[in-house]
């Protein structure tokens, strides 16, 4: 249903730049809205950072270890290749070298000239130290190479060490350091992924569990809003949660006591007023002046109506009445029939338009009062009451109820204000026309207690329309 | 009906008690008044009362308890008064056997009319008056619940009725398949419903037919009898 504007929309001032529509930047658009989601996100991000750091440390360590092991092997094999070549008879040197088992990262050849050329950059010192080439220099003079030339083949972890034999030949050691393989171990990776998944799931579960009390608190507050006698929250769980629940229950209890006190006080006032009104009614019967008696009884009727309306408004009777299936169409016709009986002069202008039968859950006494208030208002101020009832347009849609009159309508700015208790319009609807100033507030309270609402709108063709909704 | 009915008024407010006594005496009734249940019990053996007007809110023993005691004493009709016209009170009162019920502040003339109607019913239909009120009266799929004053349609949904429609329907279902002329209906309804209803039996019948989904041109449930009367053509079950 279209909501009548409460106040005329304020014209935008030219001095003030209209604020751009609040829209989260793209990066934040996917930020979870729930506390659980946000907490889980932060924890998962932290977990990811910690895991990434751990993984890096592990990988670097592993790379170091691999390098060390490779270098150790290469240096040992290189030395044994050198000794083999040095000690073997010259004619068998090449054959013995070929028969040696060398790791794939090391190739040894016997050539007439060094493969390491002096124009190439020498082997970097850390690599040389790692490969323990200094061991050659430190060996006894008999075994010491006559000359060592190292070279670094640019563009790769490929090095050449050329060692000159006393015979003048060169042992060329071609060393290719293999790229480090930090992810060598499959079991480690599987364990790592399993661990991360387990930690992630644990985080999700724990966060949902820990934020459950917040959701429970919100639900309890919701329930309290609808029904002041809603059952208290269980005061269990972690200390903070139990304390919050206890504080909530204490607050609910205070509200209950306040509402109870107020209801009791109003009931007492109502009761106390009813006794003198009853006495006055009886006294009026003994008055001889018929005219004065009639007027006095009319005054008493008005007083009684005001007391009844005030009590009904203050006690919020709708909340106490059970909800049952009610034929809303029959209810509307009953209200109109009673209005026609009470205002025979206006009977021609009271009409019903809608289905013959329309069942919906409702509190019949309260809803009848609400509709009667709308119809009574239309008759009192608009001289007519056309009630239209429309069944819901689909599942989940509300029932629409409209009461239209032919009166002067209400100024735009007052359409919402008349729902305030005891609010009176200055001009068209003053005290002279009667009424308690509570008819519309009571009607709205009742419709809202049903889960619907009621607003007023001036009809384009003149007159006022009360538009109400009611869940089907 | 006896020429001068004797009424016992039980109300804790002295002014109301005195004014009501004076008012009823002016209407040709004999009135005794008691301020609470204790005093009423003392007065009880001293007279033969035709009706008790009982305030529910009494100091000491409650009006409901006193009504129970009255019921154990005999068949005296009770009209209950209360400042709390709460639904539950009314239901309890009617189930306990109060013959009528009026919220305070009441209109004295309405009280008088109801007293007369209850007296007429008590003297005119001695058999019917002794029966405890039925919780539910079923006819043609419809259910009338007298203690809650409501009508349920065959689907179990409440069909709201005006006071006049309800009274008319109750009179009809209490006398199924019996032709009731307009005069008889008016007589049975007088006192129950004041005001424009007296002139509008036909209007009320047509409204009732509409709510009972009875075709007005060819009614099956509330039939029009030639010569000016109506009859409820249905089997009525009380339970």
Least confident of A31-45, A181-195, B160-174: A181-195
Q: Could you tell me which residue, A224 or B111, shows the higher pLDDT?
A: B111
Structural domain containing residue B126: 6-130
Whether residue A469 has pLDDT greater than 90: yes
What integer pLDDT is reported at residue A387 of this predicted model? 95
CB contact B14 to A (< 8 Å): no
Q: Average pLDDT, stretch B9-22?
A: 92
Q: How confident is the model at residue A198 (pLDDT cuts 50, 70, 90)?
A: very high
Kindly report which listed range (A170-179, A281-290, A415-424, B81-90) carries the lowest average pLDDT score.
B81-90
B11 and B89 in a single domain? The answer is yes
B192, pLDDT greater than 80: no
Measured in Å, how far apart are chain B's first and last C-alpha atoms? 31
- Chain A touched by B1 (CB under 8 Å): no
What is the pLDDT at residue A16?
A: 40
Residue B1 counted as domain residue: no
Least confident stretch, A139-143, A209-213, A336-340, A457-461? A139-143
What's the confidence (pLDDT) of residue B89?
A: 63
What percent of chain A has pLDDT above 90? 19
Residue position matching structure tokens 């005195």: B18
| Mean pLDDT of the residues in chain B | 81
Contact A334 B162 (CB under 8 A): yes
Residue A254, pLDDT score: 92
Give the position of tokens 């002279």: A432
Query: Is the minimum CB–CB distance between B23 and chain A shorter than 8 Å?
Result: yes
Q: Which among A270, A277, A282 is the nearest to B19, CB-wise?
A: A282
Per CB-CB distance under 8 Å, the chain A contacts of B106 are 278, 281
Number of domains present in the structure of chain B: 2
Angle of the B163-174 helix axis to the A328-342 helix axis, nearest 10: 110
Taking residues B39-61, report their average pLDDT: 88
Q: For all residues of chain A together, what is the average pLDDT?
A: 82
Residue that is last in its domain, among B130, B148, B171 = B130
* Residue A434 pLDDT level (bands cut at 50, 70, 90): low
Residue B134 reports pLDDT greater than 90: no
Q: Which two tokens stand for residue B43?
A: 């007065």
Q: Is B233 inside any structural domain?
A: yes
Contact assignment for B160 to A368 by CB distance below 8 Å: yes
The strand pairing partners of B101, in sequence order, are: B80
User: Which residue, among A334, A339, A343, A369, would best test binding to B if mutated, counting the most B CBs under 10 Å from its CB?
Assistant: A334
**Among chain A residues, CA nearest to B11:** A275
Question: Does B13 contact A275 at a Cβ distance shorter than 8 Å?
Answer: yes
Phi, psi of A75 (to 5 degrees): -65, -40
Residue, of A113 and B84, whose pLDDT is higher: A113
| Closest to B10 measured CA to CA, from B99, B71, B79, B73 | B79
- Residue written as token pair 């279902």: B173
Across the range B168-193, mean pLDDT stands at 79
**What span, in angstroms and rounded, lies between the C-alpha atoms of A106 and A52?**
34
Same-domain status, B154 and B115: no
Q: Are residues B178 and B154 in the same domain?
A: yes
What is the reported pLDDT for B88? 60
Task: Answer yes or no: do B18 and B105 share one domain.
Answer: yes
Residue found by looking up tokens 């007065």 in the block: B43
H-only helix segments in A131-238: 134-138, 186-226
Which of B15, B105, B169, B210 to substitute to test the interface with A, most A CBs within 10 Å? Answer: B105
| CATH class of the domain comprising A321-471 | alpha beta
Sequence spans of domains, chain A: 32-226, 239-310, 321-471
A372-402 pLDDT per residue, tens: 999 998 998 888 999 999 999 888 899 999 9
Which of B130, B158, B176 is the last residue in one of the domains? B130
* pLDDT-based confidence at residue A164 (cuts at 50, 70, 90): confident
Q: Give the model's pLDDT for residue B86.
A: 57
Chain A CB within 8 Å of residue B157 CB: yes
Residue B57 lies in a domain: yes
What pLDDT is recorded for position A81? Answer: 85
How many helices and strands in chain B, by DSSP H and E?
9, 13
- The distance of A293 to chain B (nearest Cα, Å) reads 13
Cβ proximity of B152 and B130 under 8 Å:
no
Radius of gyration from C-alpha coordinates of chain B = 19
Phi/psi of residue A235, nearest 5 degrees: -100, 70
B161 touches chain A (CB under 8 A): yes
CA atoms within 13 A on the CB side of A142: 3
Q: What share of chain B is helix, strand, coil (3-state, %, to 5)?
A: 40, 20, 35
- Phi, psi (5° rounding) for residue B11? -150, 140
Query: Among B130, B153, B183, which residue terminates a domain?
Result: B130
Which helix (H) or strand (E) segment holds residue B32: the answer is: strand B30-34
Is residue A240 predicted with pLDDT exceeding 50?
yes
**CB contact B128 to A (< 8 Å):** no
pLDDT of residue B85: 56
Q: What is the pLDDT of residue A6?
A: 40
On whether both B12 and B28 belong to a single domain, the answer is: yes
In degrees and rounded to multiples of 5, residue B79 shows phi and psi of -110, 120
> Which of B106, B155, B211 is the closest to A359 by Cβ?
B155
The answer to whether the Cα torsion of B212, B217, B223, B224 is positive or negative is positive
Asked whether the beta carbons of residue B87 and residue A365 sit closer than 8 angstroms, the reply is yes
CB interface of B with A, residues 129-148, below 8 Å: none
Q: Which residue of B has its CA nearest to A362?
A: B158
pLDDT surpassing 80 at residue A28: no
**Architecture per CATH, A239-310:** Orthogonal Bundle (1.10)
CATH number at residue B157: 1.10.10.10
DSSP secondary structure of A78-107: HHHHHHHHHHS-GGGHHHHHHHS---TTEE
Question: How far does A332 lie from chain B, in Å, by closest CA?
Answer: 9
Least confident stretch, A11-15, A255-259, B99-103: A11-15
């Amino acid at each position: 249903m279209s909501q009548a504007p409460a106040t005329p929309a304020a014209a935008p001032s030219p001095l003030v730049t209209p604020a751009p529509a609040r829209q989260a930047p793209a990066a934040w658009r996917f930020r979870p809205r729930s506390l659980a989601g946000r907490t889980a996100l932060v924890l998962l991000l932290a977990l990811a950072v910690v895991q990434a750091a751990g993984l890096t440390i592990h990988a670097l360590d592993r790379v170091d270890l691999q390098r060390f092991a490779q270098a150790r092997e290469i240096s040992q094999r290189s030395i044994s290749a050198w000794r083999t070549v040095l000690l073997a008879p010259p004619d068998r040197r090449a054959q013995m070298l070929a028969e040696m088992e060398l790791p794939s990262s090391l190739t040894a050849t016997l050539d007439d000239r060094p493969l390491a050329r002096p124009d190439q950059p020498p082997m970097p010192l850390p690599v040389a130290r790692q490969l323990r080439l200094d061991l050659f220099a430190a060996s006894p003079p008999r075994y010491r190479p006559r000359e060592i030339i190292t070279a670094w083949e640019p563009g790769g972890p490929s090095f050449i060490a050329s060692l000159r034999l006393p015979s003048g030949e060169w042992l060329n050691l071609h060393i290719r350091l293999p790229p480090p393989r930090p992810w060598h171990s499959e079991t480690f990776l599987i364990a790592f992924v399993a661990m991360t998944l387990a930690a992630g799931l644990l985080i999700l579960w724990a966060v949902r569990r820990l934020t459950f009390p917040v959701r429970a608190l919100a639900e309890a507050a919701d329930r309290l809003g609808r029904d002041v006698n809603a059952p208290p929250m269980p005061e269990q769980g972690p200390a903070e949660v139990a304390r919050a629940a206890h504080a909530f229950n204490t607050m609910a209890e205070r509200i209950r006591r306040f509402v109870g006190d107020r209801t009791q006080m109003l009931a007492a006032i109502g009761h106390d007023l009813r006794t003198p009104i009853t006495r006055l009614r009886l006294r009026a019967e003994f008055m001889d002046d018929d005219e004065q008696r009639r007027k006095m009884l009319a005054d008493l009727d008005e007083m009684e109506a005001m007391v009844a309306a005030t009590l009904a408004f203050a006690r919020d009777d709708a909340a106490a009445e059970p909800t049952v299936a009610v034929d809303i169409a029959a209810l509307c016709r009953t209200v109109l029939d009673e209005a026609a009986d009470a205002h025979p002069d206006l009977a021609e202008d009271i009409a019903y338009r809608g289905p013959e039968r329309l069942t919906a859950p409702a509190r019949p006494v309260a809803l009848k009062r609400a509709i009667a208030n709308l119809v009574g208002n239309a008759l009192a101020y608009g001289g007519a009451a056309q009630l239209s009832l429309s069944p819901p347009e689909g599942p989940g849609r509300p029932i629409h109820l409209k009461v239209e009159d032919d009166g002067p309508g209400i100024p735009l700015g007052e359409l919402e204000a008349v729902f305030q208790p005891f609010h009176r319009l200055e001009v068209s609807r003053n005290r002279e026309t009667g009424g308690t100033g509570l008819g519309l507030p009571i009607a709205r309270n009742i419709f809202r207690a049903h889960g619907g609402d009621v607003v007023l709108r001036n009809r384009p063709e003149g007159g006022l329309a009360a538009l109400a909704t009611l869940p089907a | 009906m006896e020429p001068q009915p004797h009424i016992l008024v039980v109300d804790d407010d002295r002014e109301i008690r005195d004014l009501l006594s004076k008012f009823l005496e002016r209407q040709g009734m004999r009135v005794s008044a008691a301020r609470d249940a204790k005093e009423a019990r003392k007065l009880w053996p001293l007279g033969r009362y035709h009706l008790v007007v009982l305030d529910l809110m009494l100091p000491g023993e409650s009006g409901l308890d006193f009504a129970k005691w009255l019921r154990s004493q005999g068949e005296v009709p009770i009209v209950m008064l209360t400042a709390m016209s709460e639904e539950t009170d009314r239901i309890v009162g009617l189930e306990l056997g109060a013959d009528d019920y009026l919220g305070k502040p009441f209109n004295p003339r309405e009280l008088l009319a109801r007293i007369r109607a209850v007296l007429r019913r008590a003297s005119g239909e001695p058999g019917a008056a002794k029966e405890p009120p039925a919780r539910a009266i079923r006819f043609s799929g419809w259910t009338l619940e007298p203690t809650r004053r409501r009508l349920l349609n065959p689907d179990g949904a409440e069909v709201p009725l005006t006071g006049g429609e309800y009274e008319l329907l109750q009179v009809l279902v209490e006398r199924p398949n019996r032709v009731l002329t307009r005069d008889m209906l008016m007589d049975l309804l007088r006192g129950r419903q004041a005001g424009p209803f007296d002139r509008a039996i036909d209007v009320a019948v047509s409204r009732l037919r509409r709510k009972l989904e009875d075709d007005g041109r060819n009614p099956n449930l509330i039939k029009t009898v030639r010569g000016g009367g109506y009859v409820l053509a249905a089997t009525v079950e009380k339970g």
